[in-house]
Structure 1
Amino acid sequence: MLQPPGLVMSLLLAAIIVVGNTLTLVAIHGSAAGRFGPFSGILGVRTAATRSSEAAWQAAHRAAWPWALGCNGAAIVAAAVGGMLGTTVTPFLVLMGLAIAASLAGAVAQIVVGHRAAVRELGDSK
């Protein structure tokens, strides 16, 4: 029989997921707004196309923003609610599983959509 994780452990896991997804939203939004550029370190969608120019970088992040907001926003909500349900097994596992799945789906979607937008931007500028 499964044991519930306990409130402290569930809140700790939820906090890790919430902070990570919030930082992702800040990075994508900031890059779309021009606050972070392609040479800013480890932030943003980093492919050869997105780092080719400032215009490609911003186009990629503007295209990725709706996906980030939807997927990472859903992950934040699921993790926050799941963290509060740490004294139950099934709701906790379902919500944390959804939070992790939404985080991964957001990451993949942002890379694919962002890269494609950057390639379009580079093709348009030639």
Structure 2
Amino acid sequence: MKIFTVVLSSLRPVRFLIVAFTCALLLLSSAVPAFAISSPQSDPKDATTQLLGTQREADEVAKEPPPGLKEVQKKSNEGLNEVQGAADIEKQKRPDNSQGATSVRDEVENFLGKVTGNK
């Protein structure tokens, strides 16, 4: 118990700084989700159209008996997979469309180089 009181008495001069830092941290952590408002918004009509098409296909498949292996393989070879088909294929990252992308390591090295003045 004596150790606890010694620690508390030694923290007394910096107590205000600890409280101020904690309050600032709470304020900033609650404000971070507000930054998502400025992100680009997608068109709700596009998503609805895609969902309706997917729902229509699911209803058609549900009315029929389960598809065979050949049919499933044929359908899945048309795009990314059987369900998604080729929808949003241009938005997904693949090795063939990300050859010019920089890695996280390169980005960090560039940033540190700019900060330290080496680049």
TM-score (norm 2): 0.29
TM-score (norm 1): 0.28
| Larger Rg belongs to | 2
Higher relative contact order (CA 8 A, sep 6+): 1
